[in-house]
Structures are given as C-alpha cells and as structure tokens.
Amino acid sequence: MASPLNSHTLGRWLTGLYFVSGAASLAYEVLWARMLSVQFGVSIFGAVVTVCAFMVGLGAGSLLGTRVSRGAQHPLRYFAVLELGVGVFALLMPFIAQAVNQELSALAQDVTLTIWFAFQLVAAFLLLLVPALAMGAGFPLLLAAARDTGASLGRVYGFNALGGVVGALLPLGLLPALGWLATAQAFAVAGIVISVAAFLLVPRQVAVASTAAPILTMPPKSTLLLYAGIGAAALMLEIGWTRLFGMIMLRTEYVLAVIIAVFLLGIGSGSLLAKRLTHARWLLVLPLTASVSAVLTLWLLAPLSRAIEASHFASLSAALLVQGGVLALLTLPVTLALGAWLPLLTARCGGDSRHGAWLYGVNSLGAALGTLVAGFVLIPTIGSPATIMIAALLLLSCGFVLAQARRAWFAVAVVVISMWPVLSLPPVAALLPRALGDTHDALVYEDALSMTHVVERHDGQRILLDDLQRMDAASDPDAVVVQQNQARLPLLLHAQPHSVLFLGMGTGISASGALVYPDLTLTAVELSRGAVIAARDWFAPVNHDIVNRLRIVRDDARRFLVSDSAHYDVIVGDLFHPDLAGRSALLSVEQFTRARARLNDGGVFVQWVALNQFDAASLDIVLRSFIQAFPQAVVFVDPFRLALVGSKDHVVNAPDVLTNLARLSDAARSNATGGEGAWTWLGRYFGPIKSLVRADGDVQHEATPRIEYLLPKARYRGELDLAALLTQLLKQRPAWQRAAEELRVPADARATFEKSYAATELALAGWVATLRGKAEEGNRLLQLAYQANPQDRWVGVALVTPIWTQLEAMLQQGARVQDTFGKDARDVLAAILRIRPDHVPALKMLLKLEQLAGNRAHAEALRAQLTQLSPLDHDDNNR
C-alpha cells in the first residue's frame, strides 16, 4: 500500500487536480456550445442553452454532492468515478448528439420553427445536464477530500476557475489544427486522465479522510436566496457583455472564448484574494464595487469601440491580447467581487466547506435562471445595456441585504442616476466614427439572435448593420446593382426558372433583382427579424417593396433546407462575412449538400463569396468544399465577387441563357441583365472549379471548421490580397476557345463572346494594376476593355471614376476645367454620362450647373432621372 501523503502535499495535489478538472470542464463547455451553434444557427441560443444546462447541473450536482460527501470515508474515490463518467460521456457526446440531431431533424418537417427550437432546447438541455451534474457533484466531494489539508475553499474554487481560463482558451489553438471532433476527444481523454490520477491518490489520502464529517445544517435560507440572486446577476452580466463587447471587438470564434476566459480570470483571482479580506466591511464594499464597475463598462463602451476602430495590430494574437487585456481591466472589479463572495460568505456562515458547497450550488442555480432571463427575456425586450443595468442593481440590492447595510441604501439612487445616460446603446456614429461618423441611427432592433441597425447618411443613403458589422448591404445605386446582380446571374443560368429561394434576405435588394421575371415564385429565408423590419420599413424604395412580393420564412438557412419539403429551380446563397462567429457553417460541405437536395432537376445553386474577404488558402477550402457537393461546378466573377455555380444534373451553358431571355420582352430582357446583355455575363465565366483548385487539401465541414480560424489570422498578417487572388484567377482562366466549348456558345455568337470574355480579362488585369499602384497601366487596360465591350457596367464605372475624381477636385478648388480637359465642366460631365448614363455623382453635378444656368427643363429631367436611380437621395441641392 502506498504511504499516505502529508496533509499539505495532499492539498496541493488536490488543488492541482481540480485546476486541470476546471480546464477540462470549460473546454467541454466551449466545444459543446460550438456544437450547438451548428444546430441553432447563427445566434446566442447555443451559448445560452449550454451555459444554462451547465449552471443547473453544477448547482444541483453540488447540492447533491454535499449530501453524498457528508458521510463518505473516501470522497476522492467518488470524485474519481464522476470524472471518469464525464470523460467517457465526452468521448461519446459527438455520436450521441448526432443521433439526437437526426431524430430532431426528422421532426423538423412537421413543426414550426418555434416548436423545433423548443425541441432542440429541451434535448440539448437534458443532454448537457448529465455531465454537468457530475461536475457539480465533484465540487463538494473534492472539498471533503481536501478537509484538513490546508487547501481552503477559496483556494480550491479559485484554482478551478483559473483552470477554466486555460480550458476556455486552449480549444482556440486546437480547433483549427485538429477539428471539433478530435479536440473534443482530446479533452475527454484529459478528463479520463484526471480520473486515473484521482484514483491513484485515494490510497494516499486515507489517513486524512477516514472519519465521517459531522452533520451540518445548511446556511440560512435568506442567505442562499440572496446568493442565488448574485449568481443570476453575474450571468446576466456575462450574457450582456458577450453581446456588447462581442460587437465592438473581433466578432470571430476567438472573442467569445476570450470573454469567458476574462470572466473566469477575475472570479478565480477574487476567490484567491478573499483570504486577505477579513474585515466585515468587505461584504459591503463588494456589491458597491461590482455594481458601479458594471455601470462603468457601459460608459466606456463607446470610447473602447472608437479605440478599437482606430487600432492597428501586427497579428491576431496581438489584437486578442490587447483587446482581452482591456476587457479584463474593465470587468476585473466586477469579477473579482464575484469571486470573493463565495469564500467570504462561507466564512460568515461558519467556515465549513460544506456551507461553501451549498452556497455554490444555489449560486449556480441562480446563474442558470439569470442566463435564461437575460438571453430570452431581457435582451429581446429592453436591450443589452438595460440588461446590464438590471444586473448591476440586482448585485447591489442582494449584496446590501447580505451585508445588512441599511445606511448604504442611498447608494442605489446614486447608481440609478449614473445609469440613466447609458440606458441605451450609443449611436453607431459614436461607436464607429471613422467608418460611419456621418450617419444617424434610423433603426435599432435587438432580439435574442442579433442586434440590427439601419444607419442613414447625410444624403439619405442607408446601410444595414448586423451586430455593428457591415453587411455590404446599402442603398446607394452602385450597391443596389451589386446586390441585384446576386439574383440576376443565377436566374440567367436557368433555362426557364419558375421558383427561386434566397438563403438570406438582408435589405431585400438582392431578391428584387428577380422581379423582372413573370410568374416567378420567390421565397426568402431570413433568421433576423430586424433585417425583415429594415427591408420593409427602410429599404422599400430601393427594393421595390419586395417584402410584400415574396414569401418570407423566418428560419435558419440550415434548418430550413433540412425541414423544407419544397424544391426550387434556383437557390441563391447570399454574401456574408465568413470569419464572423457561426457564419462559416454556411460554407460547409454539409450546407452545400443540403442545398443540392432542394433543387429541382436542372436546378441551379449559386453561392456568392466576396474575394476581398479571403486569402488564397481559405478560398481554396471553400472551392474544394463546393465541388464535394457539385462536382461539375463552375465559377463566374462579378467583378470582385465570386459566384460558385452548381447544378444538380447538368452543366450551365449559353443556350440555357439565350432560351431564358428569348421569352422576355425587350425591356424585361434588359432589366434581367442589368442593361449589360447576356454576353457580358457569359464573358465573366472563369471555368470549372476543378481547374482552379487542387483536388487534395482541406475542406470545410461543420464538425471540422477551418476558415473561421484561418481568416482572422490571415487578415492581420496582411494576406487578404485582392490583387493576388485576381492574378491567380486570371492565370488559371481557360482560353476563350475552351470556355466557348464548355459553355456551348453557338458558332454565330463566338466573336461576340470572345470580345466580352476579353473585356472581363482586360478589366480584371486593369484593376490588378491599379491596386498595385500602376494607375497609368490600369487605365490603359480598362480603356481596351471598354472598347471590347462597352456594355460592361463595371468597366465603364472604373473608366470614368478617375475622370470624375479629378473634375470634382478642380471644381471644389475653383480651378479652370478648360485648362486641363480642353472643354468646360458641362462637356466633361456629358462625356462621363455617355460612358455611364447612371453615374449619379456626375448627374448631381450636371443638375447644379443646369440650375445655375437657368435651364429649368433640363434640370427637371435630370432631377427625375436621379429620383429613379437613387430614390433615397435627399440632397437639398438636388431635390
């Protein structure tokens, strides 16, 4: 038999063991939350359910474990068994979750989104509750094993929380390298190792834990209730901070884990420092410090956002370190207080660790309630800032009652007064002054899924923001064309489309590009209610009132494709930022396969991606993932956006496009191509995806995410090089003769196709030259592109932009235009408008000149043209 360890050595071993256990537990939480984010889509549902289940399990388990540990002679053995059970469960969890998800997916076709979410919530809650109960029961058992070893409750609890910091951050390094499944299995093995280590320590601790502990009454019910309220307030703060700081910091998979780690760092440190806080006044100081500091985080939100917007970092690690450090400083007073409360209250109740287990249990149960209330009630109804304020008041009230501080209640009024100016979120212009400083908030809508803003510029143009992230959805004329093109190309590539599905609606402008087709059934899937409201109330003038002309389904795109029984001729995958938390699952093999399953025979699926958001490696991952579902997929470019085109059972071709347009009227035909003609669009063909990317290499799976971890790093390394990507695409583009064969271009149209094909190539080469600082060469290539195909809108825009920029600067400075251009300003503007009749800035300038010259009839005609092109423009000089 192994000789017993002395009490202090055993205490250190047990503390170290619980440190590692905390790391494993938080790793499970982070990984399982990410697993649920795949089930629930892009929302905080997965995080709320995971945290709630964990808190209920930890709380109930701690209360149960307190009873078990009361007479246990070998509590460490019980602890080892529980850790073993959790480790084995973690190994099996992916397979259990997959089986449960298959059963729930079968139900998805027969129930509404709300009921399906309810099923998912209950199933996930019950699934995570089992291991959480075991983890919670381990706390009092370890405290019982550590009795008389010198390892105080504050030390054990503190080191466990600090272990949680490691567990929250470590998956960030492992997920990109190993994938979700392998990372989860690695931590499951670590949990089993903890169990084995605990079993090995059992013989070494018999001498210090052989006597059953005396029966002890639980702390006063009022104390338990109040400490449960503090737990509720703590998690309300965490959920509120996750929403607010997650918006202004890097909205990537990394940031959510950083926020959790910062929260636990303060709690762990506060628990360890509590032994120095011996005076009774600290129970009064803690709630005052916590509540005031929580309110202070709201006051500092706008300055922090402005600082982050203006910051430049050499790497993602540096950005996360600095931003995480600032966040830690902001929240540290609150989290230190939260961490110190448990050991201080335990000491006031008598100092027995079992009192601490009772308090820990009810605090965790209160935290679970606070998570649900914050995520599903307060944030959707009153917003995140007000949720944080309620949490601060709850902390203050519960703390003052616990401290029996009747004379300190005047502080509540002071705190309430300090809250009033920050009751609402600061305007976007104050949060992002560089990017959007010239705007005012037109709409602010927050629910459990996201926060939606519509901001309006001084000229009336509007931008839709999702959690303060630019959605590339705006109302200015060029942006409208870009968005409508996302519908134009997919619909052109089908010979006779009767139904179209948009995965994501945003402003509704993209879907409005389909209105030209008669008898076309339109369906849009949009999870964000704020986006639907914005499209209906703020973008109707530019989306042609699309909300009342299509069927809108409020759903997650993933769930909809699983549950919907309908099939479609065309499916359009909208643009989005792939490095934002939860978004990359929409570029996975599984999502593309689901889209293929919903296509009719001959159907076309197009997924749009923005080239400026990718580096070469990440783009290759998306391309490889796409051809897993659509082996014959091809690529089109428009002009910095890639259209990944897959068909269910045939290859897209020119005859289908010509057949499609032949059934339309002349006006409808022009609108269907955006005035550019069929051959302009076919000239943007870049060949089969297989010819653009190596067959071997990583792909994006929901269980093995790649791009959301690679893209933030690439962005900070300066590897998001649009010129390099365009150059690579141009090198791999097939010769026009081969492209004509692949598209089955009729012989009598080959010359026209060749010109359009060449124009696209020349334009992209010109843009590459311009991006690399070779403006003269870029302009020469663009002029050649224009000569080859004057109908190409983007070539015309690029050609007139430098002319307009120079002319505008000269007019503002009062310089003589004739000296530079050899003609007056009116003639220069006319030349611009001959190339691009829809050039809104030139039209505005010409309108001013005609008004000054007294040419009323021409001015009125220009004003009418501007109203049609830019209906939201309310520049007083032009209206």
Any idea what the CATH number is for the domain that residue 167 is in? 1.20.1250.20
| Within a domain: 373 | yes
Grade residue 214 by pLDDT with cuts at 50, 70 and 90.
low
Q: Which two tokens stand for residue 717?
A: 């390394």
Cβ neighbors of 727 (< 8 A, separation 6 or more) are 768
Phi, psi of 574 (to 5 degrees): -70, 165
| Within a domain: 685 | yes
Cβ neighbors of 256 (< 8 A, separation 6 or more) are 47, 242, 246, 581
Q: Which two tokens stand for residue 262?
A: 């910062």
> CATH number of the domain that 303 lies in?
1.20.1250
> CATH number of the domain that 584 lies in?
3.40.50.150
- What average pLDDT does range 633-654 have in this prediction? 92
pLDDT at 722 over 50: yes
- What average pLDDT does range 155-168 have in this prediction? 90
Residue 113 is predicted with a pLDDT of 65
- What average pLDDT does range 62-84 have in this prediction? 84
Residue 210 is predicted with a pLDDT of 42
Rounded (10°) angle between helices 75-108 and 113-145: 170
Cα(632)–Cα(688) distance, integer angstroms: 7
Grade residue 532 by pLDDT with cuts at 50, 70 and 90.
very high
Phi, psi of 734 (to 5 degrees): -70, 160
Among 213, 247, 267, the domain-final residue is 213
Using alpha carbons, select from 266, 257, 261, 258 the residue that is nearest to residue 332. Answer: 266
Give yes or no: residues 782 and 798 share one domain.
Answer: no
Amino acid at 682: L
Amino acid at 376: F
Cβ neighbors of 700 (< 8 A, separation 6 or more) are 584, 587, 588, 589, 621, 622, 625, 706, 707
Give yes or no: residues 805 and 665 share one domain.
Answer: no
416-425, 564-573, 833-842, 869-878: which has the minimum mean pLDDT?
Answer: 869-878
pLDDT at 581 over 70: no
Between 413 and 428, residue with greater pLDDT: 428
Residue 254 is predicted with a pLDDT of 67
Percent with pLDDT over 90 in the chain: 48
Which residue is listed with tokens 């210090």?
208
Neighbours of 173 (CB within 10 A): 11
Residue 441 is predicted with a pLDDT of 95
Tally of structural domains, the chain: 5
| Within a domain: 459 | no
- Sign of torsion, CA 255 259 265 266? positive
- Sign of torsion, CA 701 705 706 712? positive
pLDDT at 108 over 70: no
Residue 756 is predicted with a pLDDT of 97
Give yes or no: residues 482 and 595 share one domain.
Answer: yes
Give yes or no: residues 84 and 109 share one domain.
Answer: yes
- What average pLDDT does range 417-446 have in this prediction? 92
Cα(628)–Cα(622) distance, integer angstroms: 10
pLDDT at 480 over 60: yes
Cα(462)–Cα(441) distance, integer angstroms: 10
Q: What is the mean pLDDT of the chain?
A: 87
| Within a domain: 259 | yes
pLDDT at 208 over 50: no
Using alpha carbons, select from 21, 343, 2 the residue that is nearest to residue 151. Answer: 343
Cβ neighbors of 148 (< 8 A, separation 6 or more) are 7, 208
| Within a domain: 448 | no
Give yes or no: residues 776 and 824 share one domain.
Answer: no
pLDDT at 587 over 70: yes
17-21, 42-46, 531-535, 683-687: which has the minimum mean pLDDT?
Answer: 42-46
Query: What's the Rg (C-alpha) of the chain?
Result: 31
- What average pLDDT does range 747-753 have in this prediction? 96
- Report residue 446 CA to chain centroid gap: 15
Cα(552)–Cα(570) distance, integer angstroms: 16
Grade residue 243 by pLDDT with cuts at 50, 70 and 90.
confident
Give yes or no: residues 124 and 232 share one domain.
Answer: no
pLDDT at 71 over 80: no
Q: Which two tokens stand for residue 374?
A: 């914050």
Residue 209 is predicted with a pLDDT of 41
Cα(302)–Cα(305) distance, integer angstroms: 5
What is the 3-class SS of 246-292, one letter each residue?
A: HHHCCCCHHHHHHHHHHHHHHHHHHHHHHHHCCCCCHHHHHHHHHHH
Give yes or no: residues 595 and 660 share one domain.
Answer: yes
Phi, psi of 382 (to 5 degrees): -120, -10
| Within a domain: 457 | no
3-state secondary structure of 784: helix
Give yes or no: residues 839 and 701 share one domain.
Answer: no
Could you please report the per-residue DSSP string of 11-37? HHHHHHHHHHHHHHHHHHHHHHHHHHH
Cα(645)–Cα(41) distance, integer angstroms: 24
Among 678, 711, 745, the domain-final residue is 745
Up-side HSE of residue 227: CA atoms within 13 Å toward CB? 30
77-81, 217-221, 271-275, 733-737: which has the minimum mean pLDDT?
Answer: 217-221
Cα(799)–Cα(734) distance, integer angstroms: 26
Percent with pLDDT over 70 in the chain: 92
Cα(308)–Cα(324) distance, integer angstroms: 12
Give yes or no: residues 2 and 71 share one domain.
Answer: yes
Give yes or no: residues 193 and 95 share one domain.
Answer: yes
Give yes or no: residues 291 and 171 share one domain.
Answer: no
Q: How confident is the model over 6-58, as pLDDT tens digits? A: 777 888 888 898 999 989 988 888 887 777 666 555 456 666 777 888 889 88
Q: H or E stretch including 553?
A: strand 551-553
The domain containing residue 485 runs over which residues?
475-745
Among 386, 408, 426, the domain-final residue is 426
CA terminus-to-terminus distance, the chain: 94
Cβ neighbors of 330 (< 8 A, separation 6 or more) are 293, 296, 297, 300, 304
Please check whether residue 804 is in contact with residue 832, taking contact to mean a CB–CB distance below 8 angstroms.
yes
Give yes or no: residues 584 and 705 share one domain.
Answer: yes
| Within a domain: 30 | yes
| Within a domain: 5 | yes
Residue 710 is predicted with a pLDDT of 85
